[in-house]
Every structure is written in structure tokens, then in C-alpha cells.
Structure 1
Amino acid sequence: MAGRVGNCVVRVGFGKAEVGVPDAAVMQPTRALWIGNIPTTTTPTALHNLFSPFGTIESARVLTHKNCGFVNFERLEDAARAKKALQNKEALGPGTGAVRIGFAKVPPRPTPSPNPSMTTDSSIMEPPGGRKRFPAPPAPANIPVDANAAAAAAYHTNMMMMMMAGMGGGAENRIPISYYASIPPIPEPNPNRRLDASRLREIRKRLDNGHATPKEVESIAAECMDECVELCSDYIGNTVIQKLFERCNENIKARMLEKIAPYLAAIGVHKNGTWAAQKIIDCAKTSTQIHLITTHLNAYIPPLLLDQFGNYVVQCCLRLGAARNQFIF
């Protein structure tokens, strides 16, 4: 379509939808809010603090590359009040621009496993200070053959292929393992995390340039230590963890691995975390590090092999050598 405004020709056509704006199909009220036009320096903590006066918040996250974020309330009424109060306001401070707020799709809550031995709410650990950690790993559970026939068949097929390729053997006397029925998911990021995206970029840049001294690397590792588990699955944090395992001394790597190892299977099937998990295994050198890895992965081998990301984690374990990778078979 074309026309004139004064002496200028005006052409009108269909454009590309703005990135990050929720679908029109989900504009009906929900308990999840999309917040657009936010500064790139905005952190999940800042969003949490901004919206918490309106009600209990389930989670808050920021997509810095799209200048938007999401806040999930526990109640729809609280989300609606927050949207009405903050819409088109400079809610994040003078000069930051008016935020745009819309309703968004509510992320699904993790469904409890039918297996009574899997994780329950009582296994969520609340350390001093109220910072919620990942769920404690569930107790092992034997996979019923009749309920998981397809999974068992695929598992044995993978095992046969690996053994035929000459990557294993000598498992005749292996002690039977009780396998986990599934891998527990990684929960929503902690909104009170100290290391935000901006700080993680600074750290990654410092580690990438190759000029950081061993003492500086040790200082960075100490800064990341308390949050290293969550950083493994962060889209920037996982690259920082990879660099630290490449450059830290063996004692620091062991300390980080003591925190990460209980969640290594969950990290290994995450789209970001799988890269950190593979690097951690590749960089393991001491018997203590390798023992932590194998001990916490051995009961998860079937679901790892059947996962699009997890099977690469198992392949990394093969490189530990025949004397150490027998837990796979």
C-alpha cells in the first residue's frame, strides 16, 4: 500500500512482530507477567523486589538479550494488581523508561513422580539465610521392566553398541545397581543470586583474555563457589564454570565438584548445563574428583543415555578409561 503525506510517498506493509512480546492468544489474565522495555542491567532480584509488594512471587527471571523479564505470582489477583499499578511507569528508576507489562503463559510446575521414593517437598533444603537450594537427589528406585519396557530396550541397545565398539567389558562381576527412574529437574533460578548477568560477563571476559593470574582465578572461583551449582545451568554462568575447571588448581576443582556432583545428572540433561557437565568430566584428573563424578552418576545412567544431552555426558565418562568407566555397563 502506498500514499502521500505532503510531498512524501508513504509505503505501508506488514512488519515483523516485536521480539519478546507475548502472544495475543495469551493476553487473558494469568498469574504470570511479562515485563518489557527494561534496562539491560536489570537483575532478577530487582524485578523480585519491585513486584513483591503486590503479593507472593513464585519466581522472577530476566532475558537481558531481549530487554524483558518474567515474574510469576502465586495468585492471579496479585499479578493483575501489579500490572495495573506499574503499567507504563518508570518503575525501575528515573530515566529508565516506562515499562510495558502484559500477561504471559504460566510455566508448568514440576509434576510429582508417582514413585514414592522420588523427591518430595520435604527434601528441599533451606540453609541459613533462607536461600533455597536444588532438591536433594531422591533415593534410588529400581525401574520396573513392565512399566519401562521401551526404555529398557533402548538402554540395552546402547550398551550393546558401546561394548561392540570395544569401549567396555569385564562387567561380569559388577555389583548390581539400583537405577533412578528419572532425573529430577533443575528448579527456577534463585532471584536473590549475587552473581548477575553483568558480573558474569565481566568474569568471563577476564578469564577469556588469558591474562588472569592463578591468584585472580582462585579469587574468581571463591566468588562463584557458593553459587556454582546454579551457575552450571545459567546461559552465561556455565561458560564461567567451564573456564574455572580448565584453569583452577585441583584442590579448588575438588571443592567445587563436592557441591556440583550431587546434581551433575540434572545439570547434564539441561541445555546449558550439559556443556558444563561435559567440561567438568573432561577436566577431572584426581581420583577424588573421578570418584565424586562416578558415584553420583552411576544410578542415573539409563535416563542419561536416553536424553538428547545426557548421552553426551555418558560419552565423556567413557574417556575416563576402562578401569573407571565400568559403572556405565
Structure 2
Amino acid sequence: MTYPLLRVEDLTIGFPYGTVVHGVSFDVHPGETMALVGESGCGKSITAFALMRLLPPGARIQGGHVIFDGVDLAAAAPHALRDIRGRSLSLILQEPMTSLNPVLPIGMQIAEVMRRHEGIGKAAARRRSVELLELVGVTDADRRYDDFPHHFSGGMRQRVMIAMAVACKPRLLIADEPTTALDVTIQAQVLELLDDLRRQLGMAVLLITHDLGVVAQWADRVTVMYAGRVVEQAPVRPFFATPQHPYARGLLDASVGHDGEAHYTTRRLNEIPGSIASAAGEAGCPFAPRCPDRIAACRRAPPVLTALGPDHNVACIVAAGTDHVAVDR
């Protein structure tokens, strides 16, 4: 049994107006790709920023632990975080044009990471940066080292972001919707590149997405979030074969080609009625107002994450029944 590289335990995040992430727990094991899935507004991205301690103004971690390689990042000192971020733990953001510095050549931005964390000289950093650009598929890399972000297409800018993220061979890469602004062809190329790098560098990937086709093809395990809570966790095959939470089933019913095959289905796509609940909202199960399986007990208290089988957990009193036990973190 391998121990998790990252263990998130009861992570709770709030703003002055209320709590938006409630007791989120999940593990990421060495070398795997774990997908964090859900609608926009469910708390995926802010959870990722909390792992890096890069929360927006006003937000703070209210409780829980983020254990990365034996260090609790939620309580780590700022100088310790600076040594970890960019070296053993890296982040790829959604929109590379707003993440890259528009007034610096892209090569300098890649080299800066290595000079900060590895202490190498300017010439060595340039050589390594060119090698990284070649690794991620940027042609004529030695010349393009001196180009600025606006000289690159969206797909090429995302490749530059990936080169920066893997420059120091991190143990865990957090990819927050890394293909959102890209067309389908470029999206596939970027995801294939990430998977190749994962194998070459032996790193784990936390992939944050709402695209179940991406999850089916590239992830090993899935954690589904709704309204700031984890509602289901499972390996990919059991998840797509027999999703247990009504929200997870709704996501699959509303998606095209969620089986990971390269075709479009002719079945009718069913929408989930209503809109996503506020993460700072009412008592009870947050999905209850939209749930076709709800019972009176669903309105009383949020369900706890319950083990249905090996590595398959669900937060639903109807799906769990009475024969299962709460997950002990």
C-alpha cells in the first residue's frame, strides 16, 4: 500500500460572508492523476488555491489540514511555502495569457523558476529552459526563448505554462482547467503532453475539470464536488459504470460521450433541474432541492461521506442506506 503524496483532511475555507468549502477530504497518490470534478461554482478552484495557500483577498482556511509530503501546508510558515511552491508543488492556471508576464520574454519566466529554486546561473538556466520548451513541443525553441507571450497562440502559451510548472520536476502538479480556452484538437494535445510528462517525471497530477470526457480518458480516480462539499469519490471505471450519488448520475446523463469513446451519443441528454446551491447555504443536503431521490431526512443535515466499497465513498443517505459506515479520516 502506498501512502498518499497529498492528503487533504476536512479542509474548510471561508469568506467574511460565510463558509464556501466544507470539510473537503481527498488523497492523491504518487504517480496518479486524480480528477476534481463539478459544475462552475462548486469550489474546485478555490480548493486548489488553498492547497497552494494562494487564496484571494478575504478568503482564509478556517480548518483542516493539507499534508503534502509530510508537511502541513495549511499551517506552514511563508518561507517554507516559498521553497515548496514551484519546486515540488506546481500549479497551471486556466488562462495562460493572464498568468504570464506580458512584458518579459517567456524564456526568462521559465528560467526564473530554476534560478530561484535550484540556484543555477543565467547561462545554465537558459539552456534548461530551451530544453523544456523543446520537451513541451515548442519548435525553434532557442529563438522563441526571447519571444513575448503575445507572440504565441493560446495552445503554445499553455505549453509555456506547462514548461514553467515542470521546470523543477515537481512531485505534484495541480492543473486547474488547463484546456478551458483551447479548441478540441489543442486540448487533446495538451492533455496528452501532461500525461507524457507525468510518466516521464514520475509526478502526480491533480486535474481540476468539469469535462467528464477528459476525466474518462486521463484520470485514475475521481472526486466529485457540489456546493463546496465532496459528494462522491471512486476509481474511474466504477465511477462511470455505477455512479452512486444522484448529482454524479445527473452529470453523466447531461454529458456527451462520457464513456470516453470518440463518438457522440444519440440518446437524449437530461439536464439537472434548478441551479447550484450556495456553498454557504441552508442546512441539510445541498443537492436536495434538485434531487429526484430526496426524502424528508435529506433536509435535516448534510450527509457524511460513507464507504460503499474499496475506495468508493458517497455522501448520500439514500445511496448509502443503513449498512455502511462513515469514512474515518
Sort the TM-score into its range (normalised by shorter chain): under 0.3
Structure having the higher strand fraction is: 2
- TM-score of the two chains, using structure 1 as the length reference: 0.27
- The higher relative CO (CA closer than 8 Å, separation ≥ 6) is in 2
- TM-score of the two chains, using structure 2 as the length reference: 0.27
